[in-house]
Copies of this chain bind each other. A is one copy, B any other.
Amino acid sequence: MIIIMERNSTREQAQRVIDFLEKNGFEVRYNIGEVHTVIDALGDKTTITPGRLAGFDGVKEVKIIREPYRLASRDRKQEDTVIEFQNGVKIGGKNRPVVIAGPCSVEDSYDALLEIARAVKEAGGAFLRGGAFKPRTSPYDFQGYGEKALQYLRQAADETGLLIVSEIMDACDLDLMLDYVDVLQIGARNVQNFRLLHAVGKCNKPVILKRGLASTIREYLLAAEHIMYNGNSNVILCERGIRSFDDDFTRNVMDIASIPVIRKYSHLPIIVDPSHGTGQRYLIEPMAKAGLVVGASGVMIEVHNDPENALSDGKQSLSIPMFKEVMARLNKFIDNLDNI
Q: Which listed residue, B65, B192, B194, B308, touches A16 by the CB 8 Å rule? A: B308
A333 at the interface (CB under 8 A from B): yes
Most buried by B among A69, A138, A243, A307: A138
Q: Is B283 within 8 A of A257, CB to CB?
A: yes
User: When each residue 17-44 of chain A gets 1 if its CB lies under 8 Å from chain B and 0 otherwise, what string results?
Assistant: 0001000000001010101101010100
Give Cα distance in the complex from A249 to B257, angstroms.
9
Q: Is B250 within 8 A of A261, CB to CB?
A: yes
Minimum distance in angstroms from A274 CB to a CB of chain B: 8
Q: A55-B313, A137-B222, A293-B293 are in contact. List 12 more A-B contacts (CB 8 A).
A: A29-B31, A36-B42, A51-B314, A56-B314, A57-B308, A139-B230, A213-B214, A218-B248, A249-B265, A261-B283, A290-B291, A340-B340
Copies of this protein, total? 4
CB neighbours (8 Å) of A140 from chain B are 45-46, 49, 68, 229
A136 at the interface (CB under 8 A from B): yes
Q: Which listed residue, B138, B249, B255, B260, touches A225 by the CB 8 Å rule? A: B138
User: When each residue 248-271 of chain A gets 1 if its CB lies under 8 Å from chain B and 0 otherwise, what string results?
Assistant: 111001111111110011000000
Give Cα distance in the complex from A122 to B29, angstroms.
43
Q: Is B216 within 8 A of A245, CB to CB?
A: yes
Q: Which listed residue, B7, B138, B230, B245, touches A49 by the CB 8 Å rule? A: B138
Give Cα distance in the complex from A136 to B222, angstroms.
10
Considering the complex, give the chain B residue whose CB is closest to the CB of A332.
Answer: B340
Which positions 99-142 of chain A face chain B at CB distance < 8 Å?
135-142
Give Cα distance in the complex from A304 to B54, angstroms.
14
A286 at the interface (CB under 8 A from B): yes
Q: Is A256 within 8 A of B308, CB to CB?
A: no
Give Cα distance in the complex from A119 to B68, angstroms.
36
Give Cα distance in the complex from A40 to B60, angstroms.
16
Q: Is A214 within 8 A of B245, CB to CB?
A: yes
Residues of A within 8 A of B (CB): 2, 4, 7, 16, 20, 29, 31, 33, 35-36, 38, 40, 42, 45-46, 49, 51-52, 54-57, 59-60, 63, 65-66, 68-69, 75, 135-142, 169-172, 189-190, 192-196, 212-214, 216-219, 222-223, 225-226, 229-230, 242-250, 253-261, 264-265, 277-278, 282-283, 286-287, 289-291, 293-295, 304, 307-315, 317, 332-333, 336, 339-340
Ordered by A's residue number, 12 sampled pairs between the chains whose C-beta atoms are within 8 Å are A7-B75, A38-B40, A49-B138, A52-B310, A56-B308, A139-B226, A170-B196, A217-B246, A249-B261, A250-B257, A257-B278, A336-B336
Q: Which listed residue, B65, B142, B189, B336, touches A192 by the CB 8 Å rule? A: B189
Q: Is B55 within 8 A of A317, CB to CB?
A: yes
Most buried by B among A140, A214, A257, A312: A257
Q: Is A137 within 8 A of B192, CB to CB?
A: yes
Give Cα distance in the complex from A55 to B35, angstroms.
26
Q: Is A249 within 8 A of B217, CB to CB?
A: yes
Minimum distance in angstroms from A48 CB to a CB of chain B: 10
CB neighbours (8 Å) of A332 from chain B are 339-340
Minimum distance in angstroms from A56 CB to a CB of chain B: 5
CB neighbours (8 Å) of A244 from chain B are 242, 244-245, 253, 255
CB neighbours (8 Å) of A291 from chain B are 290
